[in-house]
Amino acid sequence: MSQQPKIKVTLLIIAFSLAVVYGVKFFLGIMPQNTLSSGQTRAKGDKGAAIQITEFIDLECPACARGAEYLGRIMAEHPAEIRLELKYFPLPSHRHGFLAARYAECAARQGKFWPFHDALIARQPNWSRLTDATPAFALIAKEILLDPGRLEVCLNDKSVDALIQESHLEGERRGVKSTPTYYVNGKMVVGLQSLEPELVRLLAEIKK
Amino acid sequence: MVCNLWSPNLFDCLRKLKNSRYPLSRIMIGGLFVVSGFEKLVGPYQNFLYVIQNYSFLPFFLGEIAARLLPWSEFFLGIFLVLGLWTKWTLRAVMALLLMFMGVVIQALIRQLPITECGCFGGLISFPLPVILALDTTVFVFAWFLSFRMEEAERCSLDRYLARNESA
């Protein structure tokens, strides 16, 4: 039996399938993307740095903690070359993720996002195991000298939740599924294993 | 013929349903692959690369190649199986893929890698590793069984339709 009609049908099906996949990708790609203004309090590093990183983070995710440690180290080694901005992406699988983001945002509103973030990351193995992490977060807030009155008001402020949800939505629109997801100079990089070679490559390019 | 419990010809209906189990199995296996591949394809490939990296069995550059190619393979094999195109070869390729998935999951279980969700269906649904191993094994057994019943599995297929048109 001649295979020619079968090959023709196969090619037709492949072409049609490609059109469907790329059509859907195109449709998803034209969704509005950068809706959140860049929050200065959740960013560190030189504004004009050659390497701009935006990270979608879940403060309870262990891989994000490893990523934060690595970024802290590499940013200390190359302070002028890297700028990092964090965006909240609490995952539903992490029971304290949203609350941690809420506390972090309230710390940001008192200009102490990074001390709070660093303490949160350092102690993540401890508080992530708790049934109720509120006392652990309150303790960190006390240690970094957050104003308790302002913190209380902020924690009940609906705009904080709205901002976290907006940040999460922005991530979803960009195709973020897991954390940590980084955008290094606009290029999506998921996980530390991919971030390391990307940063090494970019730093080597800068040195040339 | 309308088939329900009250059909006067229930016995015929049941026999007809029994006969359609092979093409139905073929279509269901294909559908599973289509959904799995499509979900990964419409999102950024980096998400699937992250899943592959979590299984720690491939060097970085191979992981990148796999993250780009595997979803397309799943998608096209699924479509071919649903439509019944190159059924014999597609079924073999699907079995090979399933064996590979099972191997990857088994090594992750033996090494006790900290993977809580398999990531096999992108972000659509997720299963713990033992569940996905059971699912893969079940699908593999079905596919293997179908490969011995090609005559029946090719019912309602493009292969059969094209062959009939060719001979007419």
| Domain residue spans of chain A | 1-30, 40-207
Using the structure block, give the residue that is written with the tokens 């590093």.
A45
For chain B, the first-to-last Cα distance in angstroms comes to 27
Task: Check if B61 contacts A (Cβ < 8 Å).
Answer: no
Q: What sign results for the dihedral spanned by CA atoms B100, B104, B105, B110?
A: positive
In angstroms, the separation between the Cα of residue A4 and the nearest Cα of chain B is 10
What span, in angstroms and rounded, lies between the C-alpha atoms of A72 and A64? Answer: 12
With H, G, I as helix, E, B as strand and everything else as coil, classify residue B119. Answer: coil
Q: Is residue B87 part of a domain?
A: yes
Put simply, the answer to whether A6 touches B44 (Cβ < 8 Å) is no
In angstroms, the separation between the Cα of residue B148 and the nearest Cα of chain A is 22
Measured between beta carbons, the chain B residues lying within 8 angstroms of A6 are 85-86, 158-159, 162
For the segment A60-64, the average pLDDT, to the nearest whole number, is 93
Query: What pLDDT score was predicted for residue A40?
Result: 61
Task: Kindly tell me if the per-residue pLDDT of A33 is higher than 60.
Answer: no
For the segment A3-14, the average pLDDT, to the nearest whole number, is 90
Measured between beta carbons, the chain A residues lying within 8 angstroms of B41 are 21, 25
Q: Is residue B132 part of a domain?
A: yes
Measured between beta carbons, the chain A residues lying within 8 angstroms of B83 are 13
Task: Check if B128 contacts A (Cβ < 8 Å).
Answer: no
Q: What are phi and psi of A55, to 5 degrees?
A: -115, 130
Query: What pLDDT score was predicted for residue B121?
Result: 77
CATH 3.40.30.10 fits A40-207, yes or no: yes
Helix axes B45-54, B21-42, angle to 10 degrees: 100
- How would DSSP label each residue in A88-135? E---TT-TTHHHHHHHHHHHHTTT-HHHHHHHHHHTHHHHTT-S--HH
With H, G, I as helix, E, B as strand and everything else as coil, classify residue A173. Answer: helix
Radius of gyration of chain A (CA): 21
Query: Using CB atoms, which residue from A6, A9, A14 is nearest to B76?
Result: A14
User: Please, which residues have CB within 8 angstroms of residue A2's CB and are 6 or more apart in sequence?
Assistant: B166
In angstroms, the separation between the Cα of residue A206 and the nearest Cα of chain B is 23
What span, in angstroms and rounded, lies between the C-alpha atoms of B149 and B144? Answer: 9
Query: Using CB atoms, which residue from A9, A13, A191 is nearest to B162?
Result: A9
Q: Is residue B135 part of a domain?
A: yes
A144: pLDDT confidence band, cut at 50, 70 and 90? very high
Put simply, the answer to whether A181 touches B46 (Cβ < 8 Å) is yes
Query: Using CB atoms, which residue from B50, B79, B163 is nearest to A13?
Result: B79
What span, in angstroms and rounded, lies between the C-alpha atoms of A58 and A61? Answer: 5
Task: Kindly tell me if the per-residue pLDDT of A31 is higher than 70.
Answer: no
Put simply, the answer to whether B53 touches A193 (Cβ < 8 Å) is yes
Assembly ipTM: 0.80
Instruction: Give A172's Cβ-side CA count (13 Å radius).
Output: 9
Task: Kindly tell me if the per-residue pLDDT of A35 is higher than 50.
Answer: no
Query: Using CB atoms, which residue from A21, A25, A177 is nearest to B47?
Result: A177
| Model pLDDT for residues A184-195, shown as the tens digit of each residue | 999 999 999 999
Using the structure block, give the residue that is written with the tokens 């899943």.
B51
Query: What pLDDT score was predicted for residue B123?
Result: 66
Task: Check if A24 contacts B (Cβ < 8 Å).
Answer: yes
Query: What pLDDT score was predicted for residue B6?
Result: 58
Query: What pLDDT score was predicted for residue A32?
Result: 46
Q: Is residue B67 part of a domain?
A: yes
Task: Check if A33 contacts B (Cβ < 8 Å).
Answer: no
Measured between beta carbons, the chain B residues lying within 8 angstroms of A175 are 43-44, 47
Q: Which segment, A40-44, A201-205, B18-22, is predicted with the most confidence on average?
A: A201-205
For chain A, the first-to-last Cα distance in angstroms comes to 61
Task: Check if B113 contacts A (Cβ < 8 Å).
Answer: no
Q: What are phi and psi of A88, to 5 degrees?
A: -75, 135
Put simply, the answer to whether A17 touches B49 (Cβ < 8 Å) is no
A89: pLDDT confidence band, cut at 50, 70 and 90? very high
What span, in angstroms and rounded, lies between the C-alpha atoms of A63 and A97? Answer: 13
What span, in angstroms and rounded, lies between the C-alpha atoms of A206 and A201? Answer: 9
Put simply, the answer to whether B47 touches A2 (Cβ < 8 Å) is no
Alpha helices per DSSP H over chain B: 10-19, 21-42, 45-54, 60-83, 87-110, 129-147, 150-153, 158-167
pLDDT tens over chain B, length 168 residues: 555 555 566 666 566 666 788 889 999 999 999 999 999 999 889 999 999 999 988 888 899 999 999 999 999 999 999 999 999 999 999 999 999 999 999 999 999 888 877 777 766 777 889 999 999 999 999 999 999 988 888 888 898 888 888 776
A13: pLDDT confidence band, cut at 50, 70 and 90? very high
- In chain B, how many domains are there? 1
Specify which residues A88 forms β-bridges with: A57
Q: Which helix (H) or strand (E) holds A166?
A: helix A158-173
Q: If you average pLDDT over every residue of chain A, what do you get? A: 90
Residue span of the structural domain in which B151 resides: 21-167
Q: Is residue B113 part of a domain?
A: yes
Specify which residues A187 forms β-bridges with: A184
A60: pLDDT confidence band, cut at 50, 70 and 90? very high
